[in-house]
Structure 1
Amino acid sequence: MRAGTAQICLVVAASLAAAVSGASFSLSDAKQFVYLAGAAYCDASSLKSWTCGRACSGPLPAVPGSITVVQNRTMDLQAFVGKLEDGRAIVSFRGTRPTKIQDWVTDLKSAFKTDWTGPGCPSCRVAKGFYEAYLALAPDIKVALHGLNAGTVVVTGHSLGASMAGIAMMDLYASGFNLAPAHYTFGQPRDGDEVYASTFNS
C-alpha cells in the first residue's frame, strides 16, 4: 500500500471511530497515534530507550525510562505502557505479524465468541482470540499503569493490536482507570457483539 493511500485509510478509519464514540476527530491526534501504534512492533530494548527509528520519531514521543514492555512469548504478544511528554499514559498493542503462526491462530480463534468475564459488561460476548490475547497481558499492563501515576490513559493499536486496544478500553475503564475521551486504532476487526458495542459506545 502506498503512503498516500495509507494516510487516506487512516483518516477514514479514525474518523469513523471518532464518529461512533461521539468524540470529535483530530487529524493531528490521529497522526500521533499512528506513530505510537507502529512503535508497538519494535523490539523491547529499543522501545525502552525510545530509539526505535521512524516509529519513535512522532510528534508526541514517550518519555524514555517510563516504558514497560509487556509480553507473552507463548502467544507471541507484545504491548508497551509508558508516559507521553504531555503527561498522559499510553498503552499500545502490537498487531499481527504475517510470519508468526501464533498471531494467525489468535486471529482465527476470534471468529468465535466467548463471554466477557470482567467488570462492566456482564451480558457481552467478545471475539475469543482477541479477548484471550488481551487477558494474557492485562495484569502486567495494569501494574505498569499504576506505577506511572498518570492522570489520563490513551490506548492504541493496529490490526490484532487494535482489537486488543478496544477490549482494553472497556476493561480499563471498568477497572477505574481514567481514560481519555478519544482514542485512535487502525485496521481494527470487530471485537464483540451488539451488546458489547452498545455498552462500549455508552
Structure 2
Amino acid sequence: MKVSTPRLALNHLALSLLLFFSPASADPAPVTDLTTTVAASSAGDGGLGLSYDEGLASVIVRLTEAAYCTPQLASWSCKACQHFPGMRNVTVINGEKRNVRGFVGVDIGDAEPSNRYTSTTRGPGPDDRRHLRAAEGDDRDAGGAAQSGKARIVITFSGTDPSSVKNWIDDLEATTVPNTYGGLCEQCQVHRGFLAAYDLVKDQVRYAIGQHMQYNPHVQILITGHSLGAALAVLCFLDLRVNRGLGQGPNSSVSFAPIYLFGSPRVGNEAFATLTTRPGVSIFRLVHHRDPVPHLPLEAWGYHHPPTEVFYTEDQSSYQVCNNSGEDDKCSNQFWAIFGNIEDHLWYLVVNYSTAYMQCQLDGESRADRETAPALAPPAAVA
C-alpha cells in the first residue's frame, strides 16, 4: 500500500539556520583505535555486539563528524579525521543531485602514515595492498572474518547539509514506495526520498567496497551515519546484506559490525523495520532527548522504527536502552515532534555537528585560498 500525506509543516529555513548557531560542546580527549574498540565491544557475544557499548558509540560518532568534512575527506586531513590515523584508501561518496555525502575507507589501526593512499576514483595502490594483507594476517574465526586489529571497511554518511533547505525537504517528505528486497519482504514500504538518495550513490559504495575486497576479502564492514546519513546507513546495510549477499552464511568471509545510528528518522514501515532485524546484526539508534528528527516521518503515517533505541537525557549524562518494539513510549516517543529541540539533534555524545560543519567549511576554504593564491612578487630592490 502506498502512503501519501502532506509534508510536515515545519519552518525548514529556521531549522537550517539553527544548525549554525547551536552551542559547541567541549572538545574531548582523542578516541581510541577503531579496530581495537569494535573488537572489544563484540567479544563474548558472537561478534554481533548484542549489548550497547557507549565507549564504542563515542568512537563511531567521530566517523559521522568526519563525514561532514567534504573538502578534506579525500586527503583525510580534517580535525575529526585525526582520530583515525589508520584510515586508508578513502573514497568520497558524492550524490550531487540530492547533496548526499559520505565516504568509504579501510581502517587498519595504527599503521604507518607513509603507507597512506587516498583516492576518489580507484582502489588501493601497491603499497597498501601489501600493508592490508599484513594487517589482515591469518588470525580468522571459523567463518573467515577478520579478528581484532585487522582491516575494517568503514562506510559513513553525513547528515543534512546545513546550507541546503532542499535536504530538509527530502528528509521530511512522507511518501513511501514498495521495496520487496527480491521478494524477501513483500509488505515493505520505504521512504521515497531516502531511497532515491541512496540509489544515487549505491553504485559508488558498491564499487569502493569491491575495490577494497580485491586485496582484503576477509573483513568486517562498519556502517554508520547521522540524521539523513543514518537513514542512508540502514538502506546501505540492507543493500549489501540482502541485495548483494555480503555476510550471508556461516562460512562468509565478510561480517558486519554492530550498527550505531545517530538521530535517525524513520525509514520505512513496520515490515521494513522488522526486515532490518532479520540478518542478525544489532542496530542501535541513539536519540538525544527531544531531538525532533527521530519522530519524522510520523508513526501515524505508517512509519515505524526498528529496534533498538538508546535514549539519552538532555545533558547526555545517562541513557536508557529501550525495549525491542522500536517505538518505546518510555523513551523518545514520550515526546511529540512539535515540541522537539533542534539543538538536541546537533549534539550527540562528543560531537557538535553544527560546529564541526562550519569548521570543516572554513578549513576547506582556507586551504583552497592558499592553494590558488598567486605567489607574491618579491619587493623591488631598494636603490
Q: Which TM-score tier does this pair reach, normalised by the shorter chain?
A: 0.7 to 0.9
Q: 2 CA distance for matches of 1:62 and 1:48?
A: 14
Give the drift of 1:121.
3.3
Deviation of 1:22 (Å): 7.3
Query: What is the TM-score of this pair, normalised by structure 1?
Result: 0.81
Could you say which structure has the larger radius of gyration? Answer: 2
Q: Supply the AA of the counterpart residue of 1:63.
A: M
Question: Within the alignment, does 1:130 sit opposite 2:157 as a pair?
Answer: no
Cα pair distance change 1:121/1:38, threshold 3 Å: farther
1:3 aligned onto 2:25: yes
Structure 1 position 35, deviation (Å): 0.7
For the residue of structure 2 that corresponds to 1:190, the secondary structure is: coil
Q: Conserved in 2, the CA contact under 8 Å of 1:93 and 1:158? A: yes
The structure with the largest helix share of the pair is: 1
Q: 1: CA distance between counterparts of 2:272 and 2:160?
A: 23
**Separation (CA, whole Å) in 2 of partners of 1:158 and 1:114:** 23
TM-superposed CA distance for 1:27, in Å, is: 2.0
Change (3 A) 1:195 1:36: same
- 1:1-202 pair list within 5 angstroms: 3=25, 23-44=50-71, 46-53=72-79, 55-58=80-83, 60-64=84-88, 66-85=89-108, 86-109=150-173, 111-116=174-179, 118-119=181-182, 120-149=184-213, 150=216, 151-174=219-242, 175-178=244-247, 179-202=255-278
d(CA) in 2 for partners of 1:147, 1:22? 27
Shift of 1:62: 4.9
Q: CA 1:123–1:161 in 2, change beyond 3 Å: closer, same or farther?
A: same
Provide Cα deviations, 1:10-64, integer angstroms capped at 9, x if missing partner. Answer: xxxxxxxxxxx972112222111111111111124x21221111x2132x44524
What is the SS of the residue equivalent to 1:67? strand
Mapped contact 2:94–2:100 kept (Cα < 8 A): yes
Aligned residue pairs total 181
Change (3 A) 1:62 1:43: farther
Shift of 1:181: 4.1
SS at match of 1:50: coil
Alignment match, 1:15: none
Q: Which 5+ residue runs of structure 2 have no aligned equivalent?
A: 1-22, 27-47, 109-149, 248-254, 279-383
How far apart, CA to CA, are the structure 2 residues paired with 1:135 and 1:62? Answer: 29
Amino acid at match of 1:83: V
Q: Which runs of 5+ in 1 are unaligned?
A: 5-20
Structure with the larger RCO, 1 or 2 (CA within 8 Å, 6+ apart)? 1
Alpha carbon RMSD of aligned pairs, Å? 2.0
Note the C-alpha offset of 1:143: 0.6
C-alpha deviations, 1:125-165, integer Å up to 9, x for none? 01111111111111110010010114221100000001110
**Equivalent residue of 1:91, what SS?**
strand
Distance in 1, matches of 2:230 and 2:259, equals 11
When residues 187 and 61 of structure 1 are mapped into structure 2, their CA distance, relative to the original with a 3 A threshold, is farther
Answer whether contact 2:99 2:161 (CA < 8 A) is retained.
Answer: no
TM normalised by structure 2 equals 0.44
